[in-house]
């Protein structure tokens, strides 16, 4: 039965994930096929990085019309092929940031449904593919999870630098929740002595074998600093099932990057807490795997949604983010797009 369920999920994932488009293709926002998007701005250009073979990349001047760029990697990183049995280059859930005069692109390699996973990182001086300085350099593995040893999954990375300039990596999917670990200042490895925290978690049935993801459906932590709070966004429930996806975004906050993160009711996120930010509707099935940024004085929530009008295929969503009187995030209207 578990094998059949796994095959169903895997097939649904292929149907619902972003469909490949040729390099140079221009699409409007709500027709841009992405999964697990993150965004950054260099100069007057926005760049989206997302799950795909070699890591998919799109660029835009206005966050409305997106041009498909060349993938980050021409072929799968050698270390990943050697480390993850059966891995052929479909790289998951990148995270992009600018630190120390360089762009750092964290990414995940994994075996679907298992915690045979690693997080790697690549660096570049620029994101402009026309620049003579443009060249992605892979720095290899940062963290690895091993079945039978670890009850966490090394995917869905997010780099956050706290108010003391200390770098941390948040990550995780299913198993025993979202983790936060301190990095060295070079951002390439875990700092010693190691500091680990569980920053969010959902209940998992004890009867489920440790080798399986289980039913604690939580993943994709993203930490966004606003005012005195660190806001931890995570995705509850299930992605990758096309029309049957029921992904949703929840949030909690803390005055310390290491937590504890509490929701609006005061429930700790590592005890199944999380206040709803956004969920699917009749136009979009599950929505999730978000990131959050400030561009030109405005806050934005970036995520993917499963399009009810297109067989549940995963598309780019961009919404303005505002804040209520108590300092909690509120999603506004989606940016208009010519469909």
CATH of the domain at 279: 2.115.10.20
Check the annotation: does 290 bind a ligand.
no
Residue 18 has pLDDT above 70, yes or no: no
**What does pTM read for this prediction?**
0.92
Instruction: Tell me, yes or no, whether 339 lies in a domain.
Output: no
Lookup: tokens for 267: 């429930």
Residue 65 has pLDDT above 90, yes or no: yes
pLDDT of residue 19: 61
Sign of CA dihedral 90, 88, 186, 131: negative
Residue with tokens 């975004």: 249
Instruction: Tell me, yes or no, whether 84 lies in a domain.
Output: yes
Query: For residue 50, what pLDDT band results from cuts at 50, 70 and 90?
Result: very high
Instruction: Tell me, yes or no, whether 272 lies in a domain.
Output: yes
pLDDT of residue 131: 98
219 tagged catalytic: yes
Number of domains in the chain: 1
Say if CB 216 and CB 201 are below 8 A apart: yes
Residue with the larger pLDDT of the pair 6 and 339: 6
Check the annotation: does 113 bind a ligand.
yes
Instruction: Tell me, yes or no, whether 92 lies in a domain.
Output: yes
Provide, for the chain, the percentages of residues in helix, strand and coil under a 3-state DSSP scheme, each rounded to the nearest 5. Answer: 10, 45, 45
Check the annotation: does 174 bind a ligand.
yes
Q: Are strands 45-50 and 56-60 parallel, antiparallel or unpaired?
A: antiparallel
Query: For residue 112, what pLDDT band results from cuts at 50, 70 and 90?
Result: confident
Give the mean pLDDT of the chain. 91
Closest CA to 113 of 173, 53, 201: 173
Check the annotation: does 173 bind a ligand.
yes
Given 95, 176, 219, 263, the catalytic residue: 219
Say if CB 168 and CB 159 are below 8 A apart: yes
Q: Are strands 313-323 and 298-307 parallel, antiparallel or unpaired?
A: antiparallel
CB atoms within 10 A of CB 217: 17
Query: Domain range for residue 161?
Result: 2-334
Q: How far is CA 196 from CA 23, 109, 123, 222, in A?
A: 40, 21, 25, 16
pLDDT of residue 86: 79
Instruction: Tell me, yes or no, whether 258 lies in a domain.
Output: yes
Instruction: Tell me, yes or no, whether 196 lies in a domain.
Output: yes
Residue 10 has pLDDT above 50, yes or no: no
pLDDT in tens, 259-299: 999 999 999 999 999 999 999 999 999 999 999 999 999 99
State mean pLDDT over 160-188.
Answer: 98
Given 36, 95, 270, 307, the catalytic residue: 36
């Amino acid at each position: 039965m578990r094998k059949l369920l796994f095959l169903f999920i895997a097939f649904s994932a292929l149907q619902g994930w972003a469909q490949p488009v040729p390099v140079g293709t221009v699409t409007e926002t709500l027709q841009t096929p992405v999964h697990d998007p993150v965004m950054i701005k260099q100069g007057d250009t926005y760049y989206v990085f997302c799950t795909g073979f070699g890591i998919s990349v799109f660029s835009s001047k206005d966050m409305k019309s997106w041009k498909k760029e060349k993938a980050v990697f021409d072929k799968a990183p050698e270390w990943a092929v050697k480390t993850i049995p059966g891995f052929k280059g479909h790289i998951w859930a990148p995270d992009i940031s600018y630190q120390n005069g360089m762009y750092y692109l964290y990414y995940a390699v994994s075996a679907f449904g298992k915690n045979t996973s690693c997080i790697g990182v690549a660096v570049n001086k620029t994101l402009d593919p026309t620049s003579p300085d443009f060249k992605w350099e892979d720095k290899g593995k940062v963290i690895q999870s091993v079945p039978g040893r670890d009850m966490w999954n090394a995917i869905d990375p997010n780099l956050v630098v706290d108010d003391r300039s200390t770098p941390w990596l948040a990550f995780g999917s299913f198993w025993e929740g979202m983790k936060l670990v301190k990095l060295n200042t070079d951002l390439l490895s875990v700092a010693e002595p190691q500091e680990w925290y569980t920053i969010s978690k959902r209940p998992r049935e004890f009867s489920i074998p440790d080798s399986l993801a289980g039913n604690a459906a939580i993943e994709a932590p993203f930490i966004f600093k606003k005012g005195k709070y660190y806001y931890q966004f995570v995705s509850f429930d299930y992605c990758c099932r096309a029309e049957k996806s029921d992904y949703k975004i929840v949030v909690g906050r803390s005055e310390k990057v290491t937590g504890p993160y509490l929701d609006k009711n005061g429930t700790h996120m590592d005890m199944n807490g999380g206040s709803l930010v956004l969920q699917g509707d009749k136009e979009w099935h599950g929505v999730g795997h978000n990131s959050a940024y400030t561009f030109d004085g405005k806050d934005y929530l970036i995520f993917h949604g499963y399009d009810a009008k297109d067989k549940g295929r995963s598309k780019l969503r961009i919404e303005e983010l505002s804040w209520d009187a108590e300092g909690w995030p509120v999603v506004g209207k989606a940016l208009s797009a010519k469909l």
